[in-house]
Structure 1
Amino acid sequence: MYEHTFIGLDVHAVSVAGCALAPDTGELVQAQIHSDPAVVLEWIRRFAPPVKAVYESGPTGYVLARFLREAGIDCVVAASSKLLRAPGDKVKTDKRDARLLAEMLAVGSVTEVRVPTREQEDLRDLSRLRATAAKDLAHARQHVNAILLRHGIRYPKETKWTKEHLLWLHRQRFDSPVLQFTYEADVEQAELLAAHLKRIDQRVAQTAKDCQYTAVVEALMCLRGIQVTTGFGLAVEIGDWTRFTGATIGSYLGLVPSEQSSGQSRHQGPITKAGSKYGRKLLIEAAWQHRRPYARPGARLLGQLDLVAPATWIRALEGNHRLHRKWEQFDARKKRSVTANTAIARELAGWCWSLAAPLQPGNA
């Protein structure tokens, strides 16, 4: 017999729809309550323990889950992409969603997501701030390039956004006062965003030196293509590396092929793109660096290897050589570069796991 009362919560910014299910009797209790965690806790405590609650991951974050756990309530957060819904179910309401969550929790069909601590979530927000700033800067620079391209103006050198290039940009003049204002505003925006990104990078580097992920970041930076912002981003996005193995980390990040197989037929398609989009992007970008010629570590890597234990730098050197050899094999087979790089990124995820997991609490 079931001993728990299972509670599904459909959480929104202002209100929460709750559904309590007692599987041994089949009794359902539904309510519409305020989203204040204290109010939710008061409603949950109306039911005799043991009680287990669940709500769907979303924009409301993990505040409620942490609050309930601190109050002694077993609360989990369900992965929204893994919730089962019948294809013929065309009616979706808050009460029905809460009941569905309670029923899935009762039969053990909820796929839980990891609930980070407040400190871990703060670090992740800093990393994602950096990603947003880099994206905004790329868009701003593209606006400048587009204006010049539309008017037939081309910078004579290949390397752009250097000091020399910026001076050249400021010398450009247009006959139309309106166009001149627009152009200067776009250039100014690009310069402001570049300074903003530089300030964030400095903060990331400072934080990475003294946080709970410092050892992991230093280990990841022993791999080519991974510097402090990338290493910090991967460390805070994955969080607990011990949840995975070298074979499953790629699947978690959506770097494995999708598949549709039936009977004797098997078809593999594009990668699943599940999990953290930002973590996957960081690995894809880092994987390109392993295509470059490599014989021995450069100055940056040599300095980084001095900061880690011998077992870590030996493993990192093995990974660097292995990944470069894989790139050479793909190039020799004339493999499509984008496809090859995705495969390298998937293997790079495994090498990152092999460096990070032994350094996590309880595995050092």
Structure 2
Amino acid sequence: MSNATTFVGLDVHARSVKACAFVPETGETIRKSFGYEPGEIASWVSSLPQPARCVYESGVTGFHLCRELNAMGVACVIGAVSKMHKPAADRGRKTDRRDAQFLAVQLALGVVTEVHVPDAECEGARDLARALADARDDAVRAKQRLSKFLLRHGLVYDERNAAGQRRNRWTGDFWAWVGRIDLGDAAAMATLDHYCERVREADAAKAALEAKVKSLAQQPRWKPTCDALKCLKGIDAVTA
């Protein structure tokens, strides 16, 4: 159970924050609206009966506000939104003010499930890994668009090697085959060039990010964990 005197719920948005402070001893609630200004929020919380503790929901606004408030000496946690169960009567009357008050009361009751707040370095590593996952998805989509475009024109890469096995796509032989295609129409050829360029760009972006992830995996903070994970079958440095 927290030993705080004041519990502050923050309903955080990209440009605004609605705050509600709840003091269980008196039942008093104090409300305040802010822009996204951690310094102003910290100053206001510091003016409340102490000790004070803040909470906001996990979500797209991330960890920045939490880290900033804690750095300024204001205790703040992030609550797992999936673990917060609002009364049915409140679900149809959702407002920022109500959400902030709900969070403050939940924190006072000690029923907030806190999520881990990574430091900036850890979050940066995770963001890089997510960027690589996005780049891989982009590369797959770009190749699908090119393949479907060729299929609409009756073109399917079906070259075979001397053993009669079908050659893989996206190799030098495949691109040589694509280079010999003549669709007989300027607009169609411009479309083909566009899709080919998007595939090459996506592959280049993916390769660049993979190199950065591999380099990151060799840094002292991550290397022991990555080396241990690579002992498992099917896991390389990028996956780890």
TM-score by length of 1: 0.61
Corresponding residue number in structure 2 for 1:171 = 180
Alignment check: 8 A CA contact 2:4 2:53 kept: no
1:142 is matched with which residue: 135, 141, 144?
A: 144
Amino acid in the other structure paired with 2:177: W
Amino acid in the other structure paired with 1:154: V
**Residues 119-142 of structure 1 deviation map (CA, whole Å, 9 limit, x = unaligned):** 111111111110111100100000
- Within 5 Å, which residues of 2 pair with 1:250-289? none
User: Relative to total residues, which structure has the larger helix share, 1 or 2?
Assistant: 1
**Residues 277-304 of structure 1 deviation map (CA, whole Å, 9 limit, x = unaligned):** xxxxxxxxxxxxxxxxxxxxxxxxxxxx
Shift of 1:3: 4.8
Percent of pairs with identical residues: 38
Corresponding residue number in structure 2 for 1:154 = 156
Amino acid in the other structure paired with 1:163: G
Separation (CA, whole Å) in 2 of partners of 1:184 and 1:108 = 60
Separation (CA, whole Å) in 1 of partners of 2:220 and 2:95 = 42
Shift of 1:211: 4.2
Amino acid in the other structure paired with 2:142: A
1:220 is matched with which residue: 229, 233, 239?
A: 229
Alignment check: 8 A CA contact 2:7 2:53 kept: yes
Amino acid in the other structure paired with 1:93: T
Corresponding residue number in structure 2 for 1:181 = 190
Kindly tell me: are residues 186 and 211 of structure 1, through their superposed partners in 2, closer, same or farther at Cα, counting changes over 3 Å?
farther
- The two structures, once aligned, show a CA RMSD in angstroms of 1.5
Higher relative contact order (CA 8 A, sep 6+): 2
Partner SS, residue 17 of structure 1: strand
Partner SS, residue 89 of structure 2: coil
Separation (CA, whole Å) in 1 of partners of 2:11 and 2:95 = 9
**Residues 313-355 of structure 1 deviation map (CA, whole Å, 9 limit, x = unaligned):** xxxxxxxxxxxxxxxxxxxxxxxxxxxxxxxxxxxxxxxxxxx
Shift of 1:80: 1.7
Residues 1:79 and 2:88 aligned together: no
2:204 is matched with which residue: 184, 189, 195?
A: 195
Kindly tell me: are residues 168 and 51 of structure 1, through their superposed partners in 2, closer, same or farther at Cα, counting changes over 3 Å?
same
Kindly tell me: are residues 167 and 23 of structure 1, through their superposed partners in 2, closer, same or farther at Cα, counting changes over 3 Å?
same
Partner SS, residue 28 of structure 1: strand
Separation (CA, whole Å) in 1 of partners of 2:129 and 2:140 = 17
Corresponding residue number in structure 2 for 1:250 = none
Partner SS, residue 150 of structure 2: helix
Separation (CA, whole Å) in 1 of partners of 2:167 and 2:29 = 68
Amino acid in the other structure paired with 2:137: K
Residues 1:40 and 2:41 aligned together: yes
Corresponding residue number in structure 1 for 2:112 = 110
Separation (CA, whole Å) in 2 of partners of 1:40 and 1:185 = 49
Residues 1:91 and 2:93 aligned together: yes
Shift of 1:180: 1.0
Moved more, 151-160 or 8-17: 151-160
Shift of 1:71: 2.0
Shift of 1:158: 4.5
Runs of 4+ displaced beyond 3 Å: none
Partner SS, residue 228 of structure 1: coil
Separation (CA, whole Å) in 1 of partners of 2:112 and 2:72 = 22
Listed as ranges, the gaps of 5+ residues in structure 2 are: 159-165
Listed as ranges, the gaps of 5+ residues in structure 1 are: 232-364
**Residues 23-62 of structure 1 deviation map (CA, whole Å, 9 limit, x = unaligned):** 1211111111222100110110111211110011122221
Mark the structure with the bigger radius of gyration.
2
Corresponding residue number in structure 1 for 2:161 = none
Shift of 1:227: 0.9
Separation (CA, whole Å) in 2 of partners of 1:136 and 1:3 = 47
Separation (CA, whole Å) in 1 of partners of 2:4 and 2:148 = 65
Partner SS, residue 197 of structure 2: helix
- Within 5 Å, which residues of 2 pair with 1:262-341? none
Corresponding residue number in structure 2 for 1:119 = 121
**Residues 180-231 of structure 1 deviation map (CA, whole Å, 9 limit, x = unaligned):** 1101110111011111111111111111111412110111111111111110
Shift of 1:81: 1.8
Partner SS, residue 121 of structure 1: helix
Corresponding residue number in structure 1 for 2:18 = 17
Partner SS, residue 230 of structure 1: coil
